[in-house]
Structure 1
């Protein structure tokens, strides 16, 4: 049964204050806009995309120009330089590396850039075969990877500049949210806590046209401007860039399809949150079967070629890091030993993949008899869930506080990674007493190897609640990808240097 139409007096009431005034907007006699307010890209979006394109082009041309000069000392290869430049400048836009939809969108932006450069390398090699220029190997295996070494950091720096502005409330996309008060409130909370995503919910539509208590005119400070049946009208009048549809029984396939039709011509992006919470990334694919759009959810990959690559990267990466950090490891070992003459390495039983226990290694950061003193500190526990944590734990030594702040105490775990019991990236390795209290869904953390770092490490570390820690670990287990691992490793360096959430 269709919902009743709201009286026109309610529509023109004070709840309309959020709708941004558009100069020159004409209305019909019935009070409706004569034409939809087109939500064109803001000036900052155009400038940001221009900067991204310019930085990519500049990196490509500089690397190719230097390479042409260096390689040309041996043999003139001007055509190879022109061909490589042509391949890169064609492959990047075709691979959607400059699409506004992916700029600033997590790992997807880096994935599209990587695909574009790989496609460029393939085009260069095919061009060499086609024109008989078999000396293209340096351009495929050296020049194109060199472009990546410049393009990826430039993208990262531009994104950090954008994120800083978004944390100050700038460069945000206006969003209209529509759904139940509970799901809309969750969306609003997420957009506020993760401002780098670039969404700002400015208005809400619910089934009743009110907040959660049917008397409130707002949800978490965001005004409720109407009912779900009036959503397209408010979007067309307000010029919102994103229409976020969250869970509500009102939404049927017919109503969603009608909404998509009504939003045509407004340039507002319709985003529908699926019921499948915390499942995203490469596991979701939309396909057409029997004339119906179906959302396919593939099973999480725990074996296969990608996992083999991850295993190789873990072993080789840990060996290389141990070699590079060997002077630092020796220095820390001497400092811990001289601190109180106690043991240097702390060994602790942890639970790994499939519930198998192993001995995890860490530099000792507490007094030797810390486990005995803990019994007297149970009432001071500040940890979340089954974890025991204290921000000012008296058992931590002076050198231990410094090691914990910058996660240097965890460097010996590289030996666990080298032995195959841990991974560079994965869920946090739990204690046996923690796993004994796991709920069935939480035990899914044990389907993969625990990691030296993970989403928990780059999202708050010890400041996270138990529920947030579990949610992040399960998200990693479900949506793992090689690109996500690279992003986490990159963000780990920043999180460790900042020392936030570590104690």
Structure 2
């Protein structure tokens, strides 16, 4: 039996599907050094304006709802503070702590959940501050006023950040609000980083060139895309000035690494150019990495993945709550889909198939039937047409798929019965793709780590192209999730899944 080779996972970037058309990385005409500063300042002003409007509106609404126009005061021992003054202090403190927590930092704009985390942390910090003050001064305060202000304010702060993020994504897809970067390193390291940066639709970086530590003939090619070689190590700073680059990304190790990076930092310190280092850590997300300097020696601590504990209990609680609600709400939809499937072709509406779950434990997975009843028997005759990579079997335009099955698969409606698997504990809402026993039998040691947690109804594979992903990228995404998952990340994946279902990609 042939063993599937483990994918080589080299960096902590998320992989993306390959590019479908040629595109050049020829740098755009150089902008003045102030252009990047102008758009970042404009972006911060937009966020500051929205934050101010949301907080002031939330506090005023809470004040009027609780007290009307009456001039009420918050009283304590030998102290009395009018609530209109308290409202002003709340607004000011909230805005200050949003700035202290750097929630408007451009470096976290447009992707990831760090921006939302900082907004939430700043809000809870304000709540904690006022809770301490009321205890210290024995103040009698209105709980309804504070709850209304902070809850509504937090919700609308997050909604506004999401709306601004959508707007920023559209701007970046049109070539605006991008940080122009030059990648420094060996040719293969530059290619890898350029592929990851340019493969992400909402990436914040525009690669304008490469600076190579080893000589090469001509420019670099990333698939069908060209990365112009604009400098070597000795001429990098001149290229940064010439192309008005906002950042230099060091890809991989450099000769004399520590001294080289320090010297490069000195050369760039007079400009606003950022220096970005790739960690080189395999499949490790940022929240698991902590830096701790000891006597001038920077030590990087990497938390080990945890497969038991409170986080997994909370994940299970979320699975039970949402799957039970989904089954209850979708029951009429299930009845209609079952009727359509039975009328379209002969056979049961529900398809049962053995899959492998956490720890290699087999379970019966339920789906709405999207193929003819004899699909399993006809598989052997279609093996020579397999378009899937690795152990996967996929055919675009599979003749076994029924008419109703095609649009069930397009919008992933055939997966809905798996909410029952989630409720029973065989699956989770978010996790790796549930594999077949035949696939698992051909796993290598590294690929087998996919079985360390429960498979998911959706996951990284669902929101990154589904069937358009090759085997290597699919495994890489699953392993990334297994070792770096979080509840906040699960909620983001669920939200992105709804967006993918609205505009299906890679479903067949």
How many residues are matched? 469
Shift of 1:177: 0.7
Consecutive unaligned residues of structure 2, counting only runs of 5 or more, are 1-25, 73-82
**In structure 1, C-alpha distance between the alignment counterparts of 2:34 and 2:289, rounded to whole Å:** 28
Shift of 1:20: 6.1
User: Is the 1:365–1:396 contact (alpha carbons within 8 Å) kept by the matching residues of 2?
Assistant: yes
Corresponding residue to 1:303 among 302, 308, 329: 308
Shift of 1:223: 2.2
- CA gap of 1:466–1:21, structure 2 versus 1, over 3 A, is closer
In the TM superposition, 1:403-442 aligns within 5 A as: 403-442=408-447
**In structure 2, C-alpha distance between the alignment counterparts of 1:480 and 1:91, rounded to whole Å:** 28
**In structure 2, C-alpha distance between the alignment counterparts of 1:189 and 1:475, rounded to whole Å:** 18
Shift of 1:329: 2.2
User: Is the 1:103–1:109 contact (alpha carbons within 8 Å) kept by the matching residues of 2?
Assistant: yes
- The answer to whether the aligner puts 1:71 opposite 2:66 as a matched pair is yes
User: Is the 2:346–2:373 contact (alpha carbons within 8 Å) kept by the matching residues of 1?
Assistant: no
Aligned to 1:354: 359
Helix, strand or coil: the match of 2:454?
Answer: coil
**In structure 2, C-alpha distance between the alignment counterparts of 1:310 and 1:145, rounded to whole Å:** 24
Question: Runs in 1 of length 4+ with deviation above 6 angstroms?
Answer: none
Shift of 1:63: 2.4
Aligned to 2:402: 397
User: Which structure is higher in RCO with an 8 Å CA cutoff and minimum separation 6?
Assistant: 2
Shift of 1:339: 2.7
Once the two structures are superposed, residues 69-123 of structure 1 have per-residue CA deviations (whole angstroms, 9 ceiling, x without a partner) of 2222598454554444234223211221112222224121122122122223323
**In structure 1, C-alpha distance between the alignment counterparts of 2:28 and 2:331, rounded to whole Å:** 60
User: Is the 1:125–1:137 contact (alpha carbons within 8 Å) kept by the matching residues of 2?
Assistant: no
Helix, strand or coil: the match of 1:286?
Answer: strand
**In structure 2, C-alpha distance between the alignment counterparts of 1:18 and 1:321, rounded to whole Å:** 49
- The answer to whether the aligner puts 1:123 opposite 2:125 as a matched pair is no
In the TM superposition, 1:91-130 aligns within 5 A as: 91-130=97-136
Aligned to 1:259: 264
Shift of 1:349: 1.1
**In structure 1, C-alpha distance between the alignment counterparts of 2:309 and 2:272, rounded to whole Å:** 41
Q: Single out whichever of 249-258 and 311-320 deviates more from structure 2.
A: 249-258
In the TM superposition, 1:113-262 aligns within 5 A as: 113-208=119-214, 210=215, 214-219=216-221, 220-262=225-267
Consecutive unaligned residues of structure 1, counting only runs of 5 or more, are 1-16, 24-37
Aligned to 1:468: 473
Aligned to 2:42: 47
User: Is the 1:39–1:240 contact (alpha carbons within 8 Å) kept by the matching residues of 2?
Assistant: no
Once the two structures are superposed, residues 349-392 of structure 1 have per-residue CA deviations (whole angstroms, 9 ceiling, x without a partner) of 11111111111111111112211121221122122221111221
- CA gap of 1:298–1:414, structure 2 versus 1, over 3 A, is same
Aligned to 2:369: 364
Helix, strand or coil: the match of 2:433?
Answer: coil
**In structure 2, C-alpha distance between the alignment counterparts of 1:412 and 1:86, rounded to whole Å:** 50
Aligned to 2:51: 56
**In structure 1, C-alpha distance between the alignment counterparts of 2:467 and 2:143, rounded to whole Å:** 48
- CA gap of 1:244–1:336, structure 2 versus 1, over 3 A, is same
**In structure 1, C-alpha distance between the alignment counterparts of 2:228 and 2:481, rounded to whole Å:** 34
Q: Single out whichever of 277-286 and 78-87 deviates more from structure 2.
A: 78-87
With normalisation by structure 1, the TM-score equals 0.87
User: Is the 1:83–1:124 contact (alpha carbons within 8 Å) kept by the matching residues of 2?
Assistant: no
**In structure 2, C-alpha distance between the alignment counterparts of 1:412 and 1:133, rounded to whole Å:** 53
Q: Single out whichever of 125-134 and 199-208 deviates more from structure 2.
A: 125-134
Shift of 1:58: 2.0
**In structure 1, C-alpha distance between the alignment counterparts of 2:190 and 2:207, rounded to whole Å:** 9
Q: Single out whichever of 488-497 and 387-396 deviates more from structure 2.
A: 387-396
**In structure 2, C-alpha distance between the alignment counterparts of 1:178 and 1:447, rounded to whole Å:** 37
Shift of 1:501: 1.3
- CA gap of 1:179–1:431, structure 2 versus 1, over 3 A, is same
Once the two structures are superposed, residues 187-242 of structure 1 have per-residue CA deviations (whole angstroms, 9 ceiling, x without a partner) of 2222222141211111211123x4xxx32145552222222243334334543111
User: Is the 2:449–2:479 contact (alpha carbons within 8 Å) kept by the matching residues of 1?
Assistant: yes
Aligned to 1:490: 495
Shift of 1:18: 5.8
Shift of 1:393: 1.3
